[in-house]
Amino acid sequence: MSNTISNEFFRVGVEGRVGHLQLNRPERMNTMAWAFFPALRDAVRALHDEGMHALVISSTGKHFSAGMSLDVFADDAAIVAADTPRARLAFQSNLGGLIDCLDALDRAQFPVICAIQGACVGGALDLATACDIRLCSADAFFTVQEIHIGMMADLGVLQRLAKIVPPGVARELAYTGDRLNAERALQAGLVNAVVPDAAAVVEQALAMAGRIAAKSPLAVAGSKLALNHARDHGTAESLRHMAVLQSAIFDTAEMGKAIEAWKQKREARYDPLTAPAEIGKQAR
């Protein structure tokens, strides 16, 4: 696997049509700084432009991530200053930018699988809940860490978690900051599977991503759009959306490739999705 992106926070490799982004600050428990978020957003966009069909996000070291480093609040106090109306307006803009960076995972046209070991707390849980699928090792645990430092979680976990796990579980985590261990995370539906260790969870995530990447990227992207819309809207409106969406992307040639490959027990070869124009990149 050759690296296509490498920075102080993570490295990205590509194998076929599967991207693999690994958090790479194990000596600091893979904590996040302000610069992490736009770097993540830009990496996701770059992978889309390169025609990826799926993405795995994993980590190095004992823990997936301890979330936002507390140092950033002291080192860049001006970013979170809220002592004047102008400062509060800037605070809103800064926070909106961070939210938008994680939202790039939700908006990506390819599915994103998160492979988690050890701690997944604070901002890391915001990241994980923005992914399509989560797998974890037996030693994994999940915490809405922000409540312990006197603030509410604000990068998406409160908005997404209750649509993944039962609302009561989401509220328990948000109010108490208690740890959710791997077994209970599986029972609640936060993760799809629990495997023995970090190596196994990455292996399983990459295997799943490979199976997804073998399918029509048009059909997979359409399915993600439909699922996300249904998550955020009622059934009747989602069904109307489905009729419009299917009419927009229904492709008999794509289906022909899939059916022929299925009959011949081989993988089909699909054209990559069209990368957006520059104006589209700026709008995402």
Identify which of 195, 174, 175, 171 has the alpha carbon closest to the alpha carbon of residue 183.
Answer: 195
pLDDT of residue 257: 93
Strand order across the 18-23 sheet:
2-6, 10-15, 18-23, 54-59, 112-116, 133-137, 193-195
Provide the pairing of β-strand 10-15 with 18-23: antiparallel
Backbone angles phi, psi at 252, to 5 degrees: -65, -30
pLDDT of residue 77: 65
pLDDT of residue 278: 57
- 95 and 26, same structural domain? yes
Q: Which domain holds residue 67?
A: 2-213
DSSP single-letter state for residue 84: S
Measure the N-to-C terminal CA separation of the chain; round to a whole number of Å: 28
pLDDT of residue 81: 73
Q: Which two tokens stand for residue 176?
A: 């108490």
* pTM, to two decimals: 0.92
- 205 and 225, same structural domain? no
- 246 and 133, same structural domain? no
CA distance 160 to 176: 18
- 128 and 263, same structural domain? no
Q: Which two tokens stand for residue 268?
A: 């089909």
Name the domain boundary from 181, 213, 245: 213
Residue 67 near residue 9, CB atoms below 8 Å: no
- 156 and 265, same structural domain? no
Three-state DSSP state, 18: strand
- Average pLDDT over the chain reads 92
Backbone angles phi, psi at 155, to 5 degrees: -110, 15
Q: Which secondary structure element, helix H or strand E, spans residue 124, and what is its range?
A: helix 123-129
- 129 and 250, same structural domain? no
Is residue 188 predicted with pLDDT exceeding 90?
yes
Residues 233-254 pLDDT 10s: 999 999 999 999 999 999 999 9
Query: Cα 186 to chain center, whole Å?
Result: 18
* Number of separate domains in the chain: 2
Q: Among 33-37, 130-134, 206-210, where is mean pLDDT lowest?
A: 33-37
- 260 and 208, same structural domain? no
Q: Which residues contact 271 (CB under 8 A, 6 or more apart)?
A: none
Residues 175-187 pLDDT 10s: 999 999 999 999 9
Q: Which two tokens stand for residue 130?
A: 């923005």
CATH number at residue 262: 1.10.12.10
